């Protein structure tokens, strides 16, 4: 089963860094979406990857992750 993780950032550079890190971890581009207007990254991945995705999202100083 897939789960969606959403992280909000205050820094646009964090969005770029998160995207780069997801790509480097071989997360398919179609599995994440960056909304620069509201500074959010949404990642849709299988539940068994939850810890790895949350770690990547938290590494860049989000104001909120859910």
Quick one: CATH architecture of 2-65? 2-Layer Sandwich (3.30)
Query: What count of residues does the chain have?
Result: 66
40 pLDDT tier (thresholds 50, 70, 90) = very high
Domain boundaries, the chain: 2-65
Closest CA relative to residue 14, chosen from 46, 52, 62:
62
Q: Which residues contact 50 (CB under 8 A, 6 or more apart)?
A: 3, 5
pLDDT at residue number 41 = 98
The pLDDT tens digits of the residues spanning 6-33 come to 999 999 999 999 999 999 999 999 999 9
Mean pLDDT over all residues of the chain? 96
Are the beta carbons of 21 and 62 closer than 8 angstroms? Answer: no
| pLDDT at residue 45, as a whole number | 93
What global pTM score does this model have?
0.91
């Amino acid at each position: 089963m897939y789960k969606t993780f959403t992280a909000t950032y205050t820094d646009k550079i964090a969005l770029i860094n998160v995207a780069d890190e997801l790509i480097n971890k071989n997360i398919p581009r179609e599995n994440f979406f960056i909304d620069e207007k509201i500074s959010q990254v949404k990642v849709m991945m299988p539940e068994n990857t939850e810890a790895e995705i949350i770690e990547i999202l938290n590494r860049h100083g989000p104001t909120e992750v859910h």
